[in-house]
Amino acid sequence: MAHPSQLGFQDAASPVMEELLHFHDHALMIVFLISTLVLYIIVAMVSTKLTNKYILDSQEIEIIWTVLPAIILILIALPSLRILYLMDEINSPLLTIKAVGHQWYWSYEYTDYEDLGFDAYMIPTQDLSPGQFRLLEADHRMVIPVESPIRVLVSADDVLHSWAVPALGIKMDAVPGRLNQTAFIASRPGIFYGQCSEICGANHSFMPIVVEAVPLEHFENWSSQMLEDA
């Protein structure tokens, strides 16, 4: 998860997020090179009185500064489109979970099971245990098996919400009366935190999302226990 004074992104916990981080570095390097070139030209123009007569009217330079930006845009657009299609790809999910946003909590339904669902409320500050995070802990976590394709159906019961977990590279709007879907694969075990990312009212900042990725055997034990308790 993020920590104070962090400059970069959170560590990737899914293949899509790893691709997004690589694309971010790729685009940032291009922006850095362009900024350096523009700064050099500005400094050169301000600090010298010399003028090159071939630059004042040059067909070759006009071709270069027209073609070069087009090539740079292509170098940015192609990886971007590839990741865009990867994020929309959903292949034979092992598990489907429906996440419904309410004011101001999340409810989860494991649709592959007959009666497995629960509400997830934020744990108040005074009830936190040592080591838990303020405004990020929920009384129920969305438990998933690691290294398994998971499909999440996202909707809302009242107003607009947004189900977002940065480490997994997920952000999907929850719209009342509409069912959006996204998919991800948790590449390693861990606990990943998120929050509602759409302003939804007075307690918008108090509806955290906690995803816990565990080995498949542990997930089966957890689901069996939840069904027994239900």
Q: What's the pLDDT score for residue 41?
A: 87
Residue 105: pLDDT band (50, 70, 90) is very high
Average pLDDT over residues 3-28: 91
Domains present along the chain, CATH in parentheses: 15-88 (1.10.287.90), 95-229 (2.60.40.420)
User: Which H or E element spans position 66?
Assistant: helix 59-88
pLDDT of 16 above 90: yes
Q: What's the pLDDT score for residue 218?
A: 95
Are the C-beta atoms of 208 and 195 separated by less than 8 Å?
yes
Average pLDDT, the chain: 91
Residue 229: pLDDT band (50, 70, 90) is confident
Q: Is the pTM of this model over 0.75?
A: yes
Q: What's the pLDDT score for residue 61?
A: 82
pLDDT of 228 above 90: no
The CA-atom distances, in angstroms, between 224 and each of 136, 145, 189, 191 are 26, 14, 20, 20
Angle among Cα 70, 75, 77 to the nearest 5 degrees reads 90
Percent of the chain beyond pLDDT 70?
99
Give residue-wise pLDDT tens across range 144-180: 999 999 999 999 999 999 999 999 999 999 999 999 9
Contacts of 151 (CB under 8 A, 6+ apart): 90, 93, 95, 96, 97, 181, 182, 183
Q: What's the pLDDT score for residue 17?
A: 94
Average pLDDT over residues 1-14: 86
pLDDT of 1 above 80: no
Give residue-wise pLDDT tens across range 106-157: 999 999 998 899 999 999 999 999 989 999 999 999 999 999 999 999 999 9
Residue 38: pLDDT band (50, 70, 90) is very high
Q: What's the pLDDT score for residue 71?
A: 94
